[in-house]
Structure formats: C-alpha cells, structure tokens
Amino acid sequence: MDKCSFCGRTKKEANLLVAGLEGHICDHCIEQAYSIMNEELGSKKNISFDTISLLKPAEIKNFLDQYVIGQDMAKKIISVAVYNHYKRLMQKSDGDDIEIEKSNIILVGETGTGKTLLARTVAKMLHVPFTIVDATVLTEAGYVGEDIESLLTRLLQNADYDVKAAEKGIVFIDEIDKIARKGDNPSITRDVSGEGVQQGLLKLLEGSIVNVPPQGGRKHPEQKMIPVDTKNVLFICGGAFEGIEKKIAQRMNTQIVGYGAAKIREKVDKDNLLKYIAPQDLRAYGLIPEIIGRLPVVTHLDPLDRKALRAILTEPKNALVKQYIKLFKMDNIELTFDDGVLEFIVDKAIEFKLGARGLRSICESIMLDAMFEMPSLGKDELMITIDYAAHKLEHIDMKVLKAS
C-alpha cells in the first residue's frame, strides 16, 4: 500500500500523495517542510522593517570603505540616500500629512573610478531587492532591443516575483550617459536609443504603476503583465559622460566676467573639472530637462591618483593582490610580490589612463604564464619580481590594453 515515506499516512488518510523514485510524500509533510524552510532561510517576501537593525549613514560608509578606496563624497551621498530610503519605507502615518519624497541619484565619473563597484557593494548589505541594469541595451518601445519595463523585470526576479518586495527595492542604472540624445535640438524623427529611452524612463523615475512583463519584453507577447508601483523604488544612475569636462569648462568660463576673473580661474582645479558638475552640464551633454529633474542628487567620482591606485591593489577586502594570493594558495603555492612590482603596475595604469579596471588587465598580463605553468610544476612558492613583470609586459601589445 502506498504511504508517505515521512509520516506514514496512507493514501486514504492524506489529501494528496506525491510519488517519487523510491517513495512518497503527503501534502501535510510538504506544507511542514515549506514552513521549516522559510524559518531557516528567511523569506525575502516578508521584509519586516520593524525587525531590521537599520545601519546609520556613517556605518554604511564604513562598510563601503572596506571595499572601495577613496570617493568619500560619493560614498556619503549613497549612504544618506540608502538610509533615507529605508526611513521612507518605515514611515508610518502620524496625521501630519508630510510625505517624504525619494531622492534619485546620478553618479558622474570616469571609467574605472568605482561607480559599479559602489553599487555592487551596497547590494551586499541591503535587506531590500537590488538590481544592476545596463542602459545601453534599452531602445524605445517598438524597436529591436530591451523595453524600459525590462529594468523592473530584473528587480522582480531578484524579489522572487514578490511585487510588494520589489516595490521597495533599489535599481542601479549603469551607463546612463549612453542614452543621451544625439543632437542639441529635440528630435523631430525618432531617437530610438537616446531621447526616446529617456522619455520612457520618466514614468519609472517619478513613480507610477507600470505593467511589467515577467519573462522579458516582446519574446512572450502572450504573457500576463504584472503591475508594479515604482513610487518607492530608489533609482541610482551612473555614467562616465565622456567629454562632459568641455561642457563644464565652457560654462565656467562664460560665468567668469570682470576684473576678478583671473583670480577665480586660478582657483579652478583644471585636473578635476568633474567636481564642478551641475545639472545644466548634463542637459548640455544630452539628457532631457525632465529626466534631470527626476534625478535631483548629482555627484561626481574623483579620478584615481597614484596613492588610490596603489591602495586598490592591496587594501580592500577583495583587493587584486589578495585574490591572486588566494588563487595560488588553493594550489598550495605561496605567492609574494616585490614592492617595486606594485609601483610598476600603478605606473602602467597611469600611463595608459586605465583606472582601477586597468589594474586588473595589467595584472592578468603579468600573471598569465605563472597561472598556466605553476599548478603543473609542483613548486610551493613563487615571487613576482619587477624584472619578471617588465619582461611579461614586453610581450603584450599595450595598445590593446589602452584601447580597452
């Protein structure tokens, strides 16, 4: 007689008996197993903000400091934004009719300065659904590419398709500068991946009920749409905005008029014009005024100097040097670096203006042969000297690295 392999109930005693390869399980045991799993693992679907120990902005910044070198201003702004986002979600009606509005953020910084790393690090410590999406794949509705609503599809997936949880999430939109409109004037014809996308993003950033395709855009036209309210979704946007320094320089020169002009020009940091970024510069670059108004917090990331690049190699929890040491340790090989090697890598990154991302490219070029040969040689230690590093880079076409 068929019976449950867990509790012994027979087919008559159970409402449902599911057959497996070598046994059966009844509906009672299925329900009990599900409740135990939720208790043990915790469910994303039941986020209780009353029980969350909310980190203060300074504590959030301290967490970011463990993984991201420098960029104090950007880290402060993100810490405050995340903290206020939680407070908005925890807000209870107390009769004063004061509604806290969200402050969407836009981060401007050169490639390799840490915009995406900041977003990924924030995601590690959050209790709300978080997703990173790329604006480069987006096109205006009706054209080949991703629909605007696909941003929220990713958020829904990270929330296990729990709409209530997704409506309290955070979305990081990377490469936002790639959807700048192509000309200075409003488009008469269609700007499929530029202004058209920006106009489509307006309703998401402002807060409205959007019908989201759970499996992606046009590939499954028969699918049932899921309505998602974005009023409480925080949006953080990031982009390199290549060449925006020229817009900033033009604006600052036109504003400096009179006898004191020369003295004011002397105070301007020409090596880091991004620190003077303002909404009008984003408009001159190609973002439409409506979208700039929905991204009220504008901040910049500083270019990485020699000291910051040197620290990135060794100091963060996931520093490059620590990663290579761990990789070799898994093969029982003790890896060490001469101090001169690290300085040499930094010199090359500065020479080719590669930023932090370039450090990885240079390290991979130096370490490739060692990672290929050492596991088979049976040696238990390896020291990377400056002569070894210079020799390995001689055989690499650095123009390729520069282009990347």
Secondary structure element (H or E) that encloses residue 359, with its range = helix 355-377
Is residue 276 domain-shared with residue 388, that is, in the same domain? no
Is residue 150 domain-shared with residue 205, that is, in the same domain? yes
**Going residue by residue through the chain (404 aa), what tens digit of pLDDT does each one get?**
788 888 888 888 888 888 888 888 988 888 888 878 766 555 444 555 555 667 899 999 999 999 998 899 999 999 998 898 888 888 776 667 777 888 899 999 888 888 888 988 888 888 788 899 988 888 776 566 677 888 898 899 888 888 988 888 889 999 999 888 766 555 555 666 678 888 889 988 988 898 888 766 555 566 688 899 998 899 999 998 988 988 898 888 755 555 555 555 567 777 788 888 999 999 999 899 999 999 999 999 988 888 999 999 999 988 999 999 999 999 999 999 987 999 999 998 888 777 788 899 899 999 999 999 999 988 899 999 999 999 988 866 554 455 44
Is residue 283 domain-shared with residue 358, that is, in the same domain? no
CB 136 within 8 A of CB 173: no
Q: End of a domain among 264, 285, 300?
A: 300
Is residue 296 domain-shared with residue 339, that is, in the same domain? no
Q: Which residues pair with 10 in a beta bridge?
A: 3
Provide the CATH number for the domain around residue 375. Answer: 1.10.8.60
The domain total for the chain is 3
In a domain, 27, yes or no: yes
Is residue 243 domain-shared with residue 179, that is, in the same domain? yes
Is residue 277 domain-shared with residue 383, that is, in the same domain? no
Backbone angles phi, psi at 97, to 5 degrees: 60, 20
Q: Which residues pair with 229 in a beta bridge?
A: 209
In a domain, 50, yes or no: no
pTM across the whole model: 0.74
Q: Which residues pair with 384 in a beta bridge?
A: 337
In a domain, 210, yes or no: yes
What is the rounded CA–CA span in Å between residue 165 and residue 158? 9
Instruction: Name the nearest CA neighbour of 238 among 286, 193, 171, 188.
Output: 171
Is residue 396 domain-shared with residue 262, that is, in the same domain? no
What is the rounded CA–CA span in Å between residue 113 and residue 313? 14
Tokens coding 21: 């390869």
Tokens coding 87: 């407070």
In a domain, 49, yes or no: no
In a domain, 379, yes or no: yes
Beta strands 24-26 and 105-108: pairing type?
Answer: unpaired
What is the rounded CA–CA span in Å between residue 283 and residue 291? 9
Q: Which residues pair with 235 in a beta bridge?
A: 171
Residues 342-380 as b or e (16 or more Cβ within 10 Å = b): bebbbebbeebebbbebbebbbebbbeebeeebeeeeee
Provide the CATH number for the domain around residue 133. Answer: 3.40.50.300
Is residue 364 domain-shared with residue 219, that is, in the same domain? no
Q: Other CB atoms closer than 10 Å to residue 246's CB: what's the count?
A: 12
Residue 199: predicted pLDDT: 86
Secondary structure element (H or E) that encloses residue 218, with its range = none
Alpha helical stretches, state H, 113-255: 115-124, 150-158, 163-166, 195-206, 244-255
DSSP state of 3: B
Is residue 6 domain-shared with residue 93, that is, in the same domain? no
Is residue 159 domain-shared with residue 236, that is, in the same domain? yes
In a domain, 47, yes or no: no
Q: End of a domain among 281, 300, 319?
A: 300
What is the rounded CA–CA span in Å between residue 98 and residue 100? 6
Is residue 38 domain-shared with residue 170, that is, in the same domain? no
Q: Is 209 helix (H, G, I), strand (E, B) or coil?
A: strand
Range of the domain at 66: 57-300
Is residue 88 domain-shared with residue 186, that is, in the same domain? yes
DSSP state of 221: T
For tokens 């197993």, name the residue: 33
Instruction: Name the nearest CA neighbour of 70 among 351, 305, 348.
Output: 305
What is the rounded CA–CA span in Å between residue 194 and residue 191? 5
From residue 240, alpha-carbon distances to 166, 197, 385 in Å are 28, 18, 35
What is the rounded CA–CA span in Å between residue 77 and residue 300? 10
Residue 331: predicted pLDDT: 92
Q: End of a domain among 249, 281, 300?
A: 300
Cβ-based neighbours of 142, under 8 Å, separated by 6 or more: none
Residue 403: predicted pLDDT: 43
Residues 309-336 as b or e (16 or more Cβ within 10 Å = b): bbbbbeebeebbbeebeeebeeeebebe
In a domain, 129, yes or no: yes
In a domain, 48, yes or no: no
